[in-house]
Structure 1
């Protein structure tokens, strides 16, 4: 059984995709860039500000799906400049305060939609 997740508390999709899909007890969230859902625009600021917004967007999607960051099992982080990895990582860690971190991949990519500095996608379980 598959269910589409959609919430106004996170940015609307900017293409032909869903914010997330639920299959069985797994949530597959599309990559989130640092768009403010209230304005539809990228947030101003450095990689730390953009990482914070990305995680707020992810949290909203996961809450709509009936789960939370606590139940994320895998993340994929795409950065437009790998030199931003360390400051992104500082903010990233604060969203997993229990110290139980998901598996992760991180890559530098040529460019991201709307000129974003990063994009993060997650897979989570619903308990």
Structure 2
């Protein structure tokens, strides 16, 4: 399955509740690193392998958000609907408004283990 991945370098940790604060999104699922970890609004995105978000009442698949301590990745699957894409782009815009000086970003298309870099900014 192909995905489009947006990568934003940042060292600021986001909490699940900060994404939900806009009241545009809902959390679909989390992929936990530890079986004992229970997700909540106060949980850091970095506490999980990934967190799946979507636009409330509109998205089908949503978008996946991951954070490794140095960069966020927003992944949109190839079967995404217009609402899924809108949600991912709204998240990126919201992130940009909170963090005005994003020094680096890259956009790539991932198919299996092959990454094709589409655009980047130093």
Q: What TM-score does the superposition give when structure 1 sets the normalisation length?
A: 0.32
User: Higher strand share goes to which structure?
Assistant: 2
User: Higher helix share goes to which structure?
Assistant: 1
